[in-house]
Structure 1
């Protein structure tokens, strides 16, 4: 068994089975921390939380925005998870009924993403000359899109200037007869339409919270860094956009469909990317494209998830709490399968696994006052009278002998110091898919080797 020791710079291991956590580290600072900028590799972008002080979306010059409450955010997270479950269930049922029918059927499913709950964004350049855009990145979405002038129907408020294709010398529309147009259905769940006068390909993508973007499928020069640019990158140039986008300019799709960023840049980055999500919203992580040479990264193979190619599957073998392996059969996780998702906040576990994890965690926390439940989180504590707390470590075990120890701030979710909760929730039953969410991924070095069919985890990734 390979053991990957994964800690947080704001927690101290008091023994091999517990974290010592400074209470102040549970909530973000009011100012942006600059020490955790991530490795400055060839194609690396800073990752920031869209609601934190590092976000340009929240600076003093931004348009007035009302930030969502923690309860609002978790409500959106619940909707995203419900939709992922329903989309995969629909795919699975069609697959069981008839393999041929499933592959050709016009399913009514929308995109498997809920952008309102996706927390993290990066800044990229689009067009010639370059226009910088802040895009939410999402491993559960495929189509990259941004709002475009002249916003013929509707555009929401965003921090960046809205992209104007008429001002770029490298922009072009895709025609309806192009093969690039015909493949849009699989990425959006909707058939493309054709502009009557211009023969331009029109997409529409709608998310589980009824947010949507509609516009032209186009080609443009996408700039990642000063040395890395992709010509003729396919993206959605949105003319009609509404929903919970929170000031970002659109979305960067990191899924597995041929139109995704990962597939379109396969010759440049060999279908490999990695990221580190910061410990709090006042810290900074990174998103890097291309191979990593980090020797401490341990890999587990991707698993197949239903008949859907957008999500990245995992095989979870077991979980331990405070050094004790939980009495959960690996078949509990295999029943519904598992994915890793950058846009889901709270990890969802099979009901049997969650009850075991929760009960074991509670046994290690009896010295702390219990607080009332919070949204989808039912195990909460009042830490307001403490300077430091002790919490049991939690490890996940994946196929291939990989053990991943969660950071302290990958175990807890704080609404306030008097309401800090275990950052896990239960599915309705064991047949629903397990989702390894972004709280649990905090500070981990997560490496997606899509071409190699594997995903890796390493320690202290944001340093």
Structure 2
């Protein structure tokens, strides 16, 4: 899908003054039907690829995919997710009461929210459609019996009594102690509990069973939460697949098979399809930036955001503004968060490049740089935005990474500021759409390459 092309404006001294996109607004809105995908579920000797879809869109497996939340509620939930991440990093709350929140997404216009994959649990396998999240490490699904409460999901609840390979993990096991929060016990069985920033909760037995990613690829003894008390805003998904860096994550558990390597491409709109892959990758197609870490926040993937360009010009922000609190990349955050000083400079530069269009108030306090393109004929010109990362990497964002549509004619700058410069920055999934995003734990690099999810 062609989202725009770059126009360079050159003065008499042959210096590039600005770079701008010609954008067809239709490319930023989902279609009513699911677009075909080249890449589906497939496997090789040391890799596996899964089909990724937006859970609220025509490609979704859920019957109520058209059910929508208000845009204000969507952004409120995303802010709750970000607040929770900031609390976890600052350790202002006990870890037992916090984990990555999962924002519920409408997908009709603001369509860059949660993405799901379908995997199999148990023997014989039962397919479960789960959110995948790089900011969480504990995977879990809803299980029978639901002794407390369970939210409504599309597929039947997983019944561990029907799996010949299921087993609860003992409280005496070292696997119980790998949980981030202090585990509890029921008799001799390990109990997990996760509370999300939006108030959602899952709890139950920490267990192990066979995880099937493809017909020829299974992982015996995969550790996950078998949730029997689950409440909150999980849509109709069956659970969550944790891609974080801690021991409980699927990345750590499959390290011997895939070498700590995974990648994904998030679809450009909710009517198209992406992929999640584990294993080998063609390094020549990727720009690699160092993967950083913080021992106080071991779940997250850090990278170095060193600067931002708008219209070909670097915004005037000291590098120390970006490095003070650091930046993580997160598949569960929708809108990228920047230090307050950096966001103010980005917003100012972007507004200067958009004076030809009618500005309108934002839908909430989160998105404050919005435009009404009614009467534009569906064609607009916007400044190019580029992110500069450690290792000399520059990521030129497409239109889908710069503007987010809140209606057919109203679009907003898809960035937001933290309340100050001390809160950690977050590279959200809106800016990741359409890229092949790679994580290599062994080589400690994060890669960005051409994808378009084909």
- Could you tell me the TM-score, scaled by structure 2's length? 0.91
Does 2:66 match 1:76?
no
Which position in structure 1 is the counterpart of 2:12?
none
Instruction: Point out where structure 2 has 5 or more consecutive residues left out of the alignment.
Output: 9-17, 105-112
Which position in structure 2 is the counterpart of 1:55?
60
Name the count of aligned residue pairs: 432
1:168 to 163, 172, 176: 163
Which position in structure 2 is the counterpart of 1:100?
none
Which position in structure 1 is the counterpart of 2:406?
415
Q: Deviations over 1:59-97 (max 9, x none)?
A: 3xx5x9843222221110101111111221227xxxxxx
2:432 to 433, 436, 441: 441
> Equivalent residue of 1:116, what SS?
coil
- Counterparts of 1:42-441 in structure 2, within 5 Å, are 42=44, 43-57=48-62, 59=63, 66-90=67-91, 107-108=94-95, 110-117=97-104, 119-184=114-179, 186=180, 189=181, 191-196=182-187, 199-305=188-294, 307-375=296-364, 376-386=366-376, 387-441=378-432
Contact 1:52 1:281 in 2 (8 A): yes
Offset at residue 286 of structure 1 (A) = 0.5
Contact 2:291 2:445 in 1 (8 A): yes
Question: Take 2:270 and 2:70, find their aligned partners in 1: how far apart are those partners?
Answer: 14
Question: Take 2:361 and 2:74, find their aligned partners in 1: how far apart are those partners?
Answer: 18
Which position in structure 2 is the counterpart of 1:101?
none
Q: Deviations over 1:166-187 (max 9, x none)?
A: 1111111111111111222x2x
Question: Take 2:120 and 2:196, find their aligned partners in 1: how far apart are those partners?
Answer: 25
Contact 1:50 1:120 in 2 (8 A): yes
Question: Take 2:285 and 2:449, find their aligned partners in 1: how far apart are those partners?
Answer: 6
Contact 1:87 1:109 in 2 (8 A): no
Contact 2:37 2:274 in 1 (8 A): no
Which position in structure 2 is the counterpart of 1:94?
none
Contact 1:382 1:417 in 2 (8 A): no
Offset at residue 310 of structure 1 (A) = 0.3
> Equivalent residue of 1:336, what SS?
coil
Question: Take 1:306 and 1:434, find their aligned partners in 2: how far apart are those partners?
Answer: 17
Which position in structure 2 is the counterpart of 1:97?
none
Question: Take 2:335 and 2:207, find their aligned partners in 1: how far apart are those partners?
Answer: 35
Does 2:448 match 1:457?
yes
Question: Take 2:40 and 2:424, find their aligned partners in 1: how far apart are those partners?
Answer: 32
Contact 1:335 1:431 in 2 (8 A): yes
Question: Take 1:81 and 1:306, find their aligned partners in 2: how far apart are those partners?
Answer: 20
Offset at residue 41 of structure 1 (A) = 5.5
- Could you tell me the TM-score, scaled by structure 1's length? 0.90
Contact 1:22 1:388 in 2 (8 A): yes
Offset at residue 280 of structure 1 (A) = 0.8
Question: Take 2:351 and 2:103, find their aligned partners in 1: how far apart are those partners?
Answer: 31
> Equivalent residue of 1:56, what SS?
coil
Contact 1:111 1:141 in 2 (8 A): no
Question: Take 2:160 and 2:41, find their aligned partners in 1: how far apart are those partners?
Answer: 33
Question: Take 1:108 and 1:120, find their aligned partners in 2: how far apart are those partners?
Answer: 25
Offset at residue 306 of structure 1 (A) = 6.0
Offset at residue 123 of structure 1 (A) = 0.5
> Equivalent residue of 1:204, what SS?
strand
Offset at residue 35 of structure 1 (A) = 3.9
Question: Take 2:67 and 2:27, find their aligned partners in 1: how far apart are those partners?
Answer: 25
Question: Take 2:243 and 2:95, find their aligned partners in 1: how far apart are those partners?
Answer: 22
CA distance 1:75–1:151, change in 2 (3 Å) = same
> Equivalent residue of 1:9, what SS?
coil
Q: Deviations over 1:239-298 (max 9, x none)?
A: 111100000000000001111110000011100000011111111110000120142201
Offset at residue 143 of structure 1 (A) = 0.4
1:22 to 21, 24, 35: 24
RMSD value over aligned CA atoms?
1.8
CA distance 1:423–1:36, change in 2 (3 Å) = farther
> Equivalent residue of 1:77, what SS?
helix
Asked which structure has the greater RCO (Cα within 8 Å, sep 6+), the reply is: 1
Contact 1:274 1:287 in 2 (8 A): yes
CA distance 1:358–1:36, change in 2 (3 Å) = farther
Question: Take 1:305 and 1:408, find their aligned partners in 2: how far apart are those partners?
Answer: 32
Question: Take 1:163 and 1:134, find their aligned partners in 2: how far apart are those partners?
Answer: 11
Instruction: Point out where structure 1 has 5 or more consecutive residues left out of the alignment.
Output: 1-7, 92-105
Question: Take 1:249 and 1:344, find their aligned partners in 2: how far apart are those partners?
Answer: 20
